[in-house]
Structure formats: C-alpha cells, structure tokens
Amino acid sequence: MKNVVITVSRQYGSGGKTIAAMLAKDLGINCYSREILRMASEDSGINERLFGMSDEKIRHAAWFKLLSRPYGGELLPPEDRDFVSDDNLFNYQAKIIKDLAAKESCVIVGRCADYILKDYPNVMSVFVHADRKFCLDRAMERHSMDEKEMQKYIEKTDKYRGDFYRYHTGHEWADARNYDLCLNSGKLGFQKCVEEIKSYMKIRFDME
C-alpha cells in the first residue's frame, strides 16, 4: 500500500490531539489539524480568516443544530454567489483532506475526515474518549476556569463537535460504528493509545 492515513476524532479533554501528534511523530509523518484551514485558503484563494470565522459563526447558529447536509464533494466556482458560503468553505477543506490522503501518509485530526475519506482503502479512523473526570482534570490543567465553568465549556465544545459532524455527515459523532477503533485514553494512557493504533494498523493493512 502506497500510504496510510489515520483520522482522529476526539472528545474535548481526552487528549486525542496529543495522541495524534505523538502517533505522527512516532511514524515520522505529518499531523494536520487547523493547518487544513490555511491550506484550503491557499487552494481556493479565499481569505483564511473566513474559514475561522465560519467555524465560529456556525457554532452559534440555531439552524446548524437542526439541519443536515451531508458532504457530497461539490465545489462551487468563484463566480458563484455562494462561493464563500459555510458549505463551500467546508468543501474546500474536504478537498485538501482528500488531496493529503492521495499523496502522503499522515494523521488528520477532526474536520469529519473519517467521513470524507470513508471510501478510501488506505484510511483508518480512530475515536478517542475518556470519562468525565479525566477530561475535566486535563482541561483544568490548561485553562484558568473553575470546575463548573470548565465542565460547561467541555459540554458545549463536545456538543458543537457533534452538531458539526451531524450536519456534514448525517451521522452521530460519538457512534462507535463510524470508526474502526475507539480508545479510552483515561484507562490506557496516551502512549498505550499510540501503541494500540499502531497495532491495529499492522493488522488492518497487513504491515510487517
């Protein structure tokens, strides 16, 4: 197989992004997260700031929680009036994700990459989760909020991730059936999560 791509979805505070970075370093490949926004901006010619603004705008939009428009691969041209619409901005990010999967081995964090690449034989998807206390304790180490505020922030962030995933895929973000491998980082620890992913890769892709 020419290359292997690992997508990582994660609950807030579970350490999924850290695990993704550790895995990429261990394998000697790139890890992509918000870098995809910059790459989509360069590819489309749309200001990168609009990609970030779109993320924030839909986070607070009432319609976003109710609708579902699963990604279909369309890209609107610059002359289209909806060229900088939220949907088209997502579609350009999806294009970058597909381009990366076609040309290199890498780890991709979030962005519904598991769904976008669901038909790619060289892709495996991972969901990292942990119990409430573990996520809260980790988040508290990184932010100056009291416990009540932090718990609300975690719940709000995970709800947004679930809404974002449902809107763009038509599926439930935390449904284990969407992923090849689900790992409890609170029980395994980060390094063992990395080892489990590598073990699964060897079996899944018949690697030595």
Average pLDDT estimate for 114-129: 96
Q: What is the pLDDT of residue 82?
A: 86
Residue 167, SS3 per DSSP? helix
Decide if 37 contacts 52 (C-beta within 8 A).
Answer: yes
Residue 15, SS3 per DSSP? coil
Task: State the total domains in the chain.
Answer: 1
Decide if 107 contacts 32 (C-beta within 8 A).
Answer: yes
| Inside any domain, residue 40 | yes
pLDDT tens digits, one per residue of 141-163: 887 778 888 999 999 899 989 98
Give the helix/strand (H/E) hosting 6.
strand 5-10
86, two tokens: 């939220």
Q: What is the pLDDT of residue 198?
A: 96
pLDDT tens digits, one per residue of 60-116: 566 556 677 888 888 988 888 889 888 888 999 999 999 999 999 999 999 999 999
Which CATH number goes with the domain that contains 27? 3.40.50.300
Give the helix/strand (H/E) hosting 142.
helix 132-142
| Inside any domain, residue 208 | no
The answer on pLDDT for 1 being more than 60 is no
| Inside any domain, residue 83 | yes
| Inside any domain, residue 191 | yes
Q: For the purposes of burial, counting CB atoms within 10 Å of the CB of 183, is it exposed (0-12), middle (13-18) or buried (19 or more)?
A: buried
Range of the domain at 87: 5-202
CA dihedral 155, 31, 115, 95 (to 10 degrees): 120
| Inside any domain, residue 207 | no
Q: How far apart are CA 187 and CA 197, in angstroms?
A: 15
Q: What is the pLDDT of residue 86?
A: 83
pLDDT tens digits, one per residue of 22-58: 999 999 999 999 999 999 999 999 888 888 777 666 6
